[in-house]
Structure 1
């Protein structure tokens, strides 16, 4: 299919709002049942050949596990346990309230009784309304939800290629149910002092120096899909530098700067994949240089760190 097909926010905004909250319901389950990892790496979703998955989570201390998958081809939520039981139900036609109820019923059917400590949306406009009372969000257009998954998969592969160029500490390529973006993050290893007033989610996410690259589908503040990249903490002078390609720009967001490249600017170009990779490099290289990262020692061109293999794969100078 077409690389980076159209996904205008206005065409699926209502469906996006619903699916975002569906993802947060299951995300809360993942948060409760997964082993905590540094920088919250235990809570995002991962791409599959049909949608997104939580990956396996433990059922108590008995050795069993379970997994929750969104199938955006058949448009069903699928819950499976390691003892062979499974349960599923259709995603279309559900409000957030009914989705929440049916998710807990499906989990109970495979032997995973769940009682979430805070069954509310996280950092959304209706964060004060419990999932059980949300009958407002019930839009689900299968075409656009499937398109969302297709775009996630395409962007995910580009991020995997970008991630392969760095052999230092790197996050997986993962899809966050908080901000509904897909991202990969590189770390310098240096600790960052956070003010006592910073919330615990942010404190853990940015406890180390990072340069992050990703993509999101747009929101009320930025009404359109876009690739993005940033450094935290932001080194002085970073936003004064030029970005590539020419359509990329710096925007002020939350007291710092975000490099942004509109999705539609890329998809109409001659080589969209190369343009996105170049965009990420145009942020990473100056950010790493200004922050004093070991860019040479942590480079892995083509995913190779073995010097012997690197020499073998280099073009013959003759």
Structure 2
């Protein structure tokens, strides 16, 4: 199996746009039914052996606990309750409107009283159109979704390895339904003062200094093709002049700040792609941490915090 298969955006754009909205519908339901965590850690999806999951949500007012899983091997959506009730349906041949009706109908059938508070896309071009009225996005190519799932899984494993190199506060590796990326975030835990004009979503996400690293599948607004990325927030002066590895990595401007980027196609066929991606994440972290003055003693090796057990500890 090709671990990092080709996945140019244009090859599955229609499927990606449909699937993204499927994920937002379920993700918004998770948001409505889960216990809130710092930096919105309760909201994203986590990976399973066959797809992605909301993890158990609830308990609701009547005590119901439920989980929603996307199975990208059988291409079905499954809803399960803690007391054993379950239902599923195929993800194929559905518009976003069809999916929304099938999903909410399944919740009602199982007695699950949880719905998205705002049943419209978040931060997408059709943000004013209710999901139930979207019959435009109706493409689901199982082969393309299999490739997306393969890439997602491989990137998750790389990010888990990268996450093991830091003993400070670190997010889970999770798949965000609003931006359709997968990421892990390291925190210095220094408070970041933000003005009253900053929206509450951003205020919570960036209430502490962060260096976030991840992968996205490309979009028209930020970067058009799949890429590994890293950014430091707040961004320290001169970040974009810091060295990056490997050679294909570069800094790019994005919304007034700078992203470290490693294009997917520039590294996926490397003899040791995982090592190249880890070099990229390490170099981008070192650039941000060094300029922002993060304490170097928060680095560790392979998840081990006892320095006497290290073979060759990483340095900033």
Per-residue Cα deviation, 1:92-150 (whole angstroms, up to 9, x for no partner): 11111110011011112222023432101000000000001000000000000111011
TM-score (norm 2): 0.96
1:164 aligns with 2:164: yes
- C-alpha separation between the residues in 2 aligned to 1:155 and 1:135? 32
User: In structure 2, what is the equivalent of residue 271 of structure 1?
Assistant: 272
* Alignment partner, residue 25 of structure 2: 25
Q: 1:272 to 1:63 in 2, by over 3 A?
A: same
Query: What value does the CA root-mean-square deviation take over the aligned residues?
Result: 1.4
**2:70 equivalent in structure 1:** 70
Partner of 2:109: 109
Q: Distance in 1 between matches of 2:106 and 2:212?
A: 36
- Unaligned residue ranges in structure 2 (runs of 5+): none
Partner of 2:241: 240
Query: Is the Cα contact below 8 Å between 2:57 and 2:65 reproduced in 1?
Result: yes
Q: Counterpart in 2 of 1:175?
A: 175
Mapped to 2, the partners of 1:314 and 1:245 lie a distance apart of: 20
Secondary structure in structure 2 of the residue aligned to 1:80: strand
Report the counterpart of residue 282 of structure 1 in structure 2: 283
Runs of 4+ aligned structure 1 residues displaced above 4 Å come to none
Do the aligned partners of 1:24 and 1:178 also contact (CA within 8 Å) in 2? yes
**Number of aligned residues:** 312
Question: Is the 8 Å Cα contact of residues 59 and 112 (structure 1) preserved in structure 2?
Answer: no
The C-alpha deviation readout for 1:154-175, integer Å capped at 9, x for no partner, is 0000000000000100000000
Is 1:213–1:229's contact at 8 Å kept on the other side of the alignment? yes
Match of 1:118 in 2: 118
Aligned to 1:292: 293
**Structure-2 separation of matches of 1:280 and 1:37:** 26
2:240 is paired with a residue whose SS is helix
- 8 A Cα contact 2:121 2:127, kept in partner: yes
Q: SS at 2:149's partner residue?
A: helix
Deviation at 1:59? 3.5
* Of 189-198 and 81-90, the range deviating more from structure 2: 189-198
Task: Give the TM-score, by structure 1 length.
Answer: 0.95
Match in the other structure for 1:144: 144
Deviation at 1:64, TM superposition (A): 3.5
Q: Distance in 1 between matches of 2:164 and 2:312?
A: 17
Gaps of 5+ in 1: none
List aligned pairs for 1:173-252, cutoff 5 A.
173-221=173-221, 222-252=223-253
Q: Secondary structure at the match of 1:286?
A: helix
CA distance in 1, matches of 2:172, 2:115: 28
Matches of 1:100 and 1:266, distance apart in 2: 37
Q: Is the 8 A contact 2:25 2:116 kept in 1?
A: no
1:68–1:78 CA contact under 8 A, matched in 2: yes
